[in-house]
Structure 1
Amino acid sequence: MRFISWNVNGLRAVLKKNFYEVFEAFDADIFAIQETKCSPDQVELALPGYHQFWSSAEKKGYSGTAVFTREEPLRELHGLGIDYLDHEGRIVALEFPQFWFVDVYTPNSQNELARIDFRMQWDDAFREFCKGLEEGILPSGEASTPKPVVMCGDFNVAHNEIDLKNAAANRGASGFSDEERGKLTELIDAGFTDTFRHLHPAQAGIYTWWSYRFRARSTNAGWRIDYFLVSNQLAPAIEAASIYDDVEGSDHCPVGLDLNI
């Protein structure tokens, strides 16, 4: 199966650029996007052969996630099950016969780490949410079938120094604070594999996001903050984990995963 994830930084904007071209070229079984900045009633999106699942923020023009899948899922979830964390459209989770698929747009901790407390609560809740799906416990407390998890999205953190161009200058800043990096470590240590690093443990200089300022993309002064993680039991099934940094249209580029399942 082929999975693609892309923070489009505004779906309506990228539809005027190259979204359909990119979507068709990847020919993915599941295509996830983040930062839609719209609800499905605000856009006409024709994707024949795909089922569409959206989570939209209550605040107009903000956040939002969506998943487009060839196979119809068994079940869909649109939040972590914690009310104060579930108003920004940051989760689409779909159950399939062999796995759960989770699309996430993790909250940004903002300048001066102004939202770090919310971010820490989110990271803890998200980890418990994914482990619950894996273990067969839904946010409602209802029991389900234990299944491995495939998760993807914009996690808004560069995990290690190899994952951004200017590590020393950004240490402690939003997206590279010890707190955020530590929470991603906790998620991975809970039983998940960073698929790109699994196949490319030492590859440097490849990123998924570049600031619009300071000619960051043209100088490749980027960050790797978009990920595919899978339950450890799926690690042997990873065939490819890719970063498509030649695809423009957003300040992020798509990332991909091919799994033999």
Structure 2
Amino acid sequence: MKLVSWNVNGIRACVKKGFLDYFHEVEADIFCLQETKLQEGQIELELQGYFQYWNYAQKKGYSGTAVFSKKPPLNVSYGIGEDMEELEGRILTLEYEDFFLINVYSPNAQRDLARLDYRLSWEDRMLQYLKELDKIKPIVLCGDLNVAHKEIDLRNPKSNVGNSGFTFEEREKFTTFLENGFIDSYRHFYPDQEGAYTWWSYMNKVRERNIGWRIDYFIVSERIAEKLIDSQIHCDVMGSDHCPVVLEINE
């Protein structure tokens, strides 16, 4: 089974930049989007053979998630019961026979860290939510988690210490998350791989010089690690300031 996750930074704009070419080429069983930036009725995607699930933000042109799945899930839920997450369309959970898929667009702490406290409380609620799901069946969590976990996960760690996405507090929350029985699938396969990034600033030549951050992930329950086949970063795929990440797993 192949799963793809991509922060498209506006699906309407991404479609104009080749999204559908990649979508058909990669032939995912489950394809997850973050930062769709639209409301219901603002796009019609003809994706033959896929069931579509959208979680729209209330605010226009903001946030939002979507999942396209070849197999219909047993159940779909939106948010985790918290008003803010549901208003911002940040979480989609699909239950399948053998696992839960959770597609997430984590809130950014913002440049001045104005939203850091909210971000940290989000992490606490998410961990509790995922632990409860994991008691029932394994989880596969994907999305833009808006944090580079370790120094190897961004090009310029020293100059970014304390910045949004690389604060000690956010990184510590990620460590705690992994310590609760979950694994970062990419580092599971490539623990020492440098230069592996999923997001680059739109500033001039930044992507060409690979000055990036790895902030998009597939996280899975530790107990299904033996089912993982590979975890990939498709950094050559354009259309957004993020690139797609891919997980291959035995069903």
Q: TM-score range by the shorter chain?
A: over 0.9
> Paired residues, what number?
251
Q: Is 1:158–1:181's contact at 8 Å kept on the other side of the alignment?
A: yes
State how far apart, in whole Å, the 2-side matches of 1:2 and 1:25 are.
Answer: 12
- Which residue is equivalent to 1:187? 177
- Which residue is equivalent to 1:138? none
1:227 counterpart letter in structure 2:
Y
1:206 counterpart letter in structure 2:
A
- Which residue is equivalent to 2:44? 44
Report whether the alignment pairs 1:232 with 2:222.
yes
State how far apart, in whole Å, the 2-side matches of 1:168 and 1:214 are.
Answer: 21
Q: How many Å apart are 1:133 and its aligned residue?
A: 1.1
Consecutive unaligned residues of structure 1, counting only runs of 5 or more, are 136-145
Deviations 1:200-259 (A, max 9, x none): 000001100000014210110000000000000111111010000000010000000000
Deviations 1:9-31 (A, max 9, x none): 00000111101001001100000
Q: Is 1:209–1:222's contact at 8 Å kept on the other side of the alignment?
A: yes
- Which residue is equivalent to 1:142? none
2:171 counterpart letter in structure 1:
R
Q: Please list, as runs of the form range in 1=range in 2, the aligned pairs for 1:1-261 lying within 5 A after superposition.
A: 1-135=1-135, 146-261=136-251
Identity of aligned residues (%): 51
State how far apart, in whole Å, the 2-side matches of 1:83 and 1:187 are.
Answer: 23
Q: How many Å apart are 1:83 and its aligned residue?
A: 2.0
State how far apart, in whole Å, the 2-side matches of 1:169 and 1:246 are.
Answer: 26
User: Residue 104 of structure 1: SS of its match in structure 2?
Assistant: strand
User: Residue 134 of structure 1: SS of its match in structure 2?
Assistant: helix
Consecutive unaligned residues of structure 2, counting only runs of 5 or more, are none
Q: Is 1:104–1:152's contact at 8 Å kept on the other side of the alignment?
A: yes
Q: What CA RMSD, in Å, does the superposition of the two structures yield over aligned residues?
A: 0.8
Q: How many Å apart are 1:183 and its aligned residue?
A: 0.9
User: Residue 86 of structure 1: SS of its match in structure 2?
Assistant: helix
Q: How many Å apart are 1:39 and its aligned residue?
A: 2.4
> TM-score of the superposition, structure 2-length normalised?
0.98
Q: Is 2:65–2:92's contact at 8 Å kept on the other side of the alignment?
A: yes
Q: How many Å apart are 1:186 and its aligned residue?
A: 1.2
State how far apart, in whole Å, the 1-side matches of 2:241 and 2:85 are.
Answer: 25
Q: Is 2:198–2:214's contact at 8 Å kept on the other side of the alignment?
A: yes
Q: How many Å apart are 1:41 and its aligned residue?
A: 1.2
Q: Is 1:211–1:251's contact at 8 Å kept on the other side of the alignment?
A: yes
State how far apart, in whole Å, the 1-side matches of 2:55 and 2:46 are.
Answer: 18
Q: How many Å apart are 1:130 and its aligned residue?
A: 1.0
